[in-house]
A and B are shown apart, each in its own frame.
Chain A
Amino acid sequence: MAVALDVQDLRTYFRTKKGLVKAVDGVSFYIDEGEIIGIVGESGCGKSETMLSTVQLIQTPGEIVSGRVIFNGEDILQLKANSPAMRSIRGSKISFIFKEPMTSLNPTLSINRQMTEILELHLDMDKPTARERAIELLEMVGVPDAGSRIDDLPHQFSGGMRQRVTIAMALACNPPIIIADEPTTVADITTQAQLLELMKELVTRLNTAIIIVTQNLGVVARYARRIYVMYAGRIVESGPSEAVFNHPCHPYTLGLLRSVPRLGENKTLRKLAPIYGLPPDLIDMPPYCAFLPRCTHKTERCEKDPRPEMRPVGEGHYISCYVDLRDTP
């Protein structure tokens, strides 16, 4: 399977009055064609900034300091942020689905207007063809009665339907990659299941690769083939989802998994074990491991040595930690 997107050592820093915020600090990941991967981390870990950086949507005071984003054999970070080539990639090659559909849609324009704009701009369609294609897309994502609903405004749709519309818009140009940033967080549980099943079906049917960025471990456990866990601007563990969830090797990943209640396990059966403390301030990061102050498995070496680099611990399974949890009971 060919690699659809390969991000190498990406760094995005924000210059603020208080100091330099290293929001993305050397992140590398890849996604194959037609694959679903999950990027997991708590708020402020830099997962959204990483995604926005891949298509150069970072605004001042943020700046992409270094890294390579290989797409179609080309490093697209070399393109100017507002060049036609970069805009065409954003419009038709790597599209986004955001958390809140009401804020990613224009409330004053009909769905028809918003969808056909993309098709006319990026695929040079004329108005009637674009409308036809837009209806087809809405039908594909399961909007009932798409032919008449296309002229409705966003507020006339329910939350779940609105998110289907944004999925249809993301699919408009048949992009090889879709980045879904918390796509189902605001949806109800049964709607969330509908949307995720839909996205999974589209992956198989259209061979689209989807990056799901989320805090919800369960969602990625079910749908993603590989997982990247982020903490304080870096990937701390990555690997096939069975390896990461069933045999976590990084203390942070283990901490996250022990913090979430599991279905069928009442408080009388298993106590939650939260990660105590707070995530670090991304200004003036210590030279050692960023998780150290909260880590329950730290060794002497962790304080002396620099931040650990990624190292393999299994088939496609990597951690950035000097300790390997499989060695500790």
Chain B
Amino acid sequence: MNTSLNDILVEVNNLKMYFPIKRGIFRRKVGEVKAVDDIDFTIRRNETLGLVGESGCGKTTTGRCISRFYNPTSGSIFFDGTDISRMPEKHLKPLRRSIGAIFQDPYSSLNPRQRAGSIVAEPLKFHHLADKTELHDRVAALFRLVGLDPVMSYRVPYELSGGQQQRIAIARALASQPSLVICDEPVSTLDISAQAQIINLLEELQESQELTYLFLSRDLATVQYISDRVAVMYLGRIMELTTSEELCKNPLHPYTQALISATPITDPVVDKTRQRIVLEGEIPSPVNPPTGCHFHPRCPIAIGECGEQRPPLRDVGEGHYVACIRV
């Protein structure tokens, strides 16, 4: 890959996030939830990196580590050249300005008693980005940016449709002019037509505002559509990472193949010709993950060695990374 250091906005190395399980009156630590278990990836400037995986795979935790909502257990996170993984809270304010976030359910991410305009104004006030005279105009500009009429700023969230609520959440995320926006399942609770509107809006904004996205979702069809590169996660680890196109054309990891096969498509004629892989069993608990490759108990091509050693995420050519010894 020909990427100079300056092209890279985020670099994650050996990131681990373990949550302690505490029991008893002394809150003794009795175990750990290995939500993110040693992962590496980079996000280039102006690209969309997709993280796809089922619930509990660690995609949200990864996003929250990068935005430092969590303090990672170990590993480093370089944001714009600075390691932020252990930066003390009091120094984080500039980081909070540079990283925006959009969440799954817009209604629960907006204060139901606050008017839309004041929700969007909040980051401007917090980061002292606009004085009182400018505030109104800046909010109106943000409303127009996300395709809303500024008169909507007097509405409260329940008076808006799901798509409009998500637009407010996007306007709020963009108010502080961040360089990275973490989109955590931004469309999965919306109606189909609103989903497409929001996806198109995110794309337009990426271009006009020079944004970099980390796009988290369990829907492979959406992730591969919006992302330039996609990382497939399973039980806290990255199984495969490559360009979106390559992932769909040439999936190498058996889990990716199962995920693609399980994602239904809207063409019944083509669908009949597709290979069906229905995985047995369920995702194991991250408290007690399987040894070796986390996927091996459900893997259709697993051999004895798979249960012994963790397969490294290795480059198989042209930036296609896969963590499987059988490939």
Does B54 count as interface, using CB distance less than 8 angstroms?
Answer: yes
CB pair A42 B191 closer than 8 Å: yes
Does B283 count as interface, using CB distance less than 8 angstroms?
Answer: yes
Given the known inter-chain contacts A190-B258, A267-B203, please indicate yes or no for A261 contacting B54, CB distance below 8 A.
no
Does B282 count as interface, using CB distance less than 8 angstroms?
Answer: yes
Complex interface: chain B residues within 8 A of A193 (CB) = 261-262, 278-279
CB pair A272 B282 closer than 8 Å: no
Does B315 count as interface, using CB distance less than 8 angstroms?
Answer: no
Does B159 count as interface, using CB distance less than 8 angstroms?
Answer: no
Closest A residue to B225 by beta carbon equals A261
A119 to B26, CA, bound (A): 47
Does B245 count as interface, using CB distance less than 8 angstroms?
Answer: yes
The smallest beta-carbon distance between A200 and chain B, in angstroms, is 11
Total number of B residues with any Cβ neighbor in A under 8 Å? 45
Please tell me which stretch of B107-115, B119-127, B214-222 contacts chain A, meaning at least 4 of its Cβ atoms lie within 8 angstroms of it: B214-222
Does B209 count as interface, using CB distance less than 8 angstroms?
Answer: no
Does B269 count as interface, using CB distance less than 8 angstroms?
Answer: yes
Does A262 count as interface, using CB distance less than 8 angstroms?
Answer: yes
CB pair B264 A219 closer than 8 Å: yes
Closest B residue to A161 by beta carbon equals B282
Complex interface: chain B residues within 8 A of A271 (CB) = 200
Proximity string of chain A (209-236) to chain B, C-beta cutoff 8 Å, 1 when within and 0 when not? 0000001111101100000000000000
Please tell me which stretch of A22-30, A102-110, A273-281 contacts chain B, meaning at least 4 of its Cβ atoms lie within 8 angstroms of it: A273-281
Query: When the two chains form the complex, which single residue of A191, A218, A221, A263 contacts B248, counting CB atoms closer than 8 Å?
Result: A263
A263 to B194, CA, bound (A): 19
Complex interface: chain B residues within 8 A of A276 (CB) = 193, 197
How many A-B pairs with Cβ below 8 Å? 129
- Kindly state the interface size class of chain A when it binds its partner: 35 or more
A161 to B227, CA, bound (A): 32
Given the known inter-chain contacts A188-B218, A215-B192, please indicate yes or no for A272 contacting B264, CB distance below 8 A.
no
CB pair A259 B265 closer than 8 Å: no
Closest A residue to B255 by beta carbon equals A190
The smallest beta-carbon distance between A11 and chain B, in angstroms, is 24
Proximity string of chain B (137-167) to chain A, C-beta cutoff 8 Å, 1 when within and 0 when not? 0000000000000000000000001010000
Proximity string of chain B (76-109) to chain A, C-beta cutoff 8 Å, 1 when within and 0 when not? 0000000000000000000000000000000000
Given the known inter-chain contacts A189-B220, A259-B195, A260-B192, please indicate yes or no for A245 contacting B266, CB distance below 8 A.
yes
| Chain A interface (Cβ < 8 Å from any Cβ of B) | 42-43, 158, 160-161, 188-194, 197, 215-219, 221-222, 241-242, 245-246, 255-267, 271-276, 278-279
Besides A42-B191, A221-B264, A267-B226, 10 other A-B contacts (C-beta < 8 A): A188-B283, A192-B262, A194-B279, A218-B266, A221-B265, A222-B271, A255-B193, A264-B249, A272-B199, A274-B197
